[in-house]
Amino acid sequence: MKEKAKILTMAFAGLLLLAMFLPQQTMAQKGNQSQIVEKIINLPDLQQFYPVVPGDNAKQVTIVQFPVAVPSDISAPGKTIVLTDRENLQRSATNGYFMFRSIEVNQNTAKVVGHYFYNYNSATNKSEIIAITADLQKTGSEWMIVNANVKGVE
């Protein structure tokens, strides 16, 4: 009986430690994901496609929270970041938006796959699309793009 109580106590202590560790790990992952998305938003080849916010010099960057939801603390100098869902996107007159297909983050590497949609034509119900893939490397606390491919989809 004492052995069983000892095992249960150890299991409970292990669960408590795990519960304390998981929120920290999740916060670290969100921080990494924020930095990674910011690097993608700032890719030089994409800057020309961002619409300018009326009455402001900032460029608007809209991110659809599907299929990958990104953290809400994303920021980029000279840009207004708007996070939306698919339902709100359809109701708004958004001139361009990101949809991240996957963001795979390991300890020191990350891979991003996404698309940027722009120039929506309501007559044809089509947009022009840019495919984005990027590999990133983490050095210290900073993520750097080591390879990026930004190209139009036909």
| Residues 122-135: tens digit of each pLDDT | 788 899 999 999 99
pLDDT in tens, 56-111: 888 999 999 999 999 999 999 999 999 999 999 888 878 899 999 999 999 999 99
pLDDT at 6 over 70: no
What was the pLDDT predicted at 22? Answer: 37
Distance CA(24)–CA(128), nearest Å, equals: 40
Residues 43 and 50: beta-carbon distance below 8 Å: no
Distance CA(114)–CA(73), nearest Å, equals: 19
What was the pLDDT predicted at 13? Answer: 44
Rounded average pLDDT over 48-59: 88
pTM (2 d.p.): 0.78
What is the chain written as a DSSP string? Answer: -HHHHHHHHHHHHHHHHHHHHHHHHHHHHHHHHHHHHHHHHT-GGGGGGSPBPTTSSPEEEEEE-SSS---TT---TTEEEEEE-HHHHHHS--SEEEEEEEEEE-SSEEEEEEEEEEEEETTTTEEEEEEEEEEEEEETTEEEEEEEEEEEE-
What was the pLDDT predicted at 35? Answer: 96
What was the pLDDT predicted at 14? Answer: 43
Rounded average pLDDT over 11-22: 42
